[in-house]
Amino acid sequence: MSKFYFFLWLRWSTRLTLGSIILASILSLFITLYIYISQGMAALSSEVTSALMDVFVFWFPIIWSFTLLLALFRGLKYIFNVCIAGYKLHLYSCNGKELLEEVGYGDLVKVWRKWFMLIIWLVGSFMVLSLIFTYMFTSYSGVFEWFNIYWLFAFLLVSGYFSFMLMTTRCKRVKVVKC
């Protein structure tokens, strides 16, 4: 069973990482190009290229925060009805009796809300533990000295693994079955 959860998490985390980073990169590139074009398209020199790179690096974490939420919602659809290590997750209809063979985004809303709250609690728990670790073993005086979207993403990935284990207890419409 642990092999199932690990490979489910690995599949989910790969999809989440690639989907959110690629979309954030594309949107940040469009913003950078828009700013470059609206400022008169100066000849590309080392200063202009450096400025464009700074604009891209500025916008990337901001856009990634939003694309991460989108990828979290979209990625949940692809964990159902996939046989991994002899098990798979099934999603049932609202009445809990009918198995959904084709999982749509509309079917995920209630499950995603419960799963997302579970992820929030798990990430919050990791934040408390990391804050204790920070005060005890580092020279940082607060969480905002080191915490950013990249640490949040790492906590999110670790929390995702544990959330899949807890998902069947939190969401009655989700069941693990043998395949």
- Residue 37: CB atoms within 10 Å: 9
Residue 3 has a pLDDT of 92
Distance CA 26, CA 159 (A): 27
Mean pLDDT, the chain, integer: 90
pLDDT greater than 90 at residue 109: no
Q: Directed axis angle between helix 2-38 and helix 149-170, to 10°?
A: 140
- Classify 87 in phi/psi space as left (phi over 0), alpha (psi -120 to 50) or beta: beta
Residues 87-107: pLDDT tens digits?
A: 998 888 877 678 888 888 888
Cα→Cα distances 46→52, 53, 88, 98, Å = 10, 10, 53, 61
Pairing of strands 174-178, 87-91: antiparallel
pLDDT greater than 90 at residue 60: yes
Residues 33-49: pLDDT tens digits?
A: 999 999 988 888 999 99
Those residues whose C-beta lies under 8 Å from the C-beta of residue 24, and which sit 6 or more positions away, are: 60, 63, 64, 66, 67, 68
Residue 96 has a pLDDT of 67
Distance CA 57, CA 77 (A): 30
How do the domains of the chain map onto residue ranges? 2-178
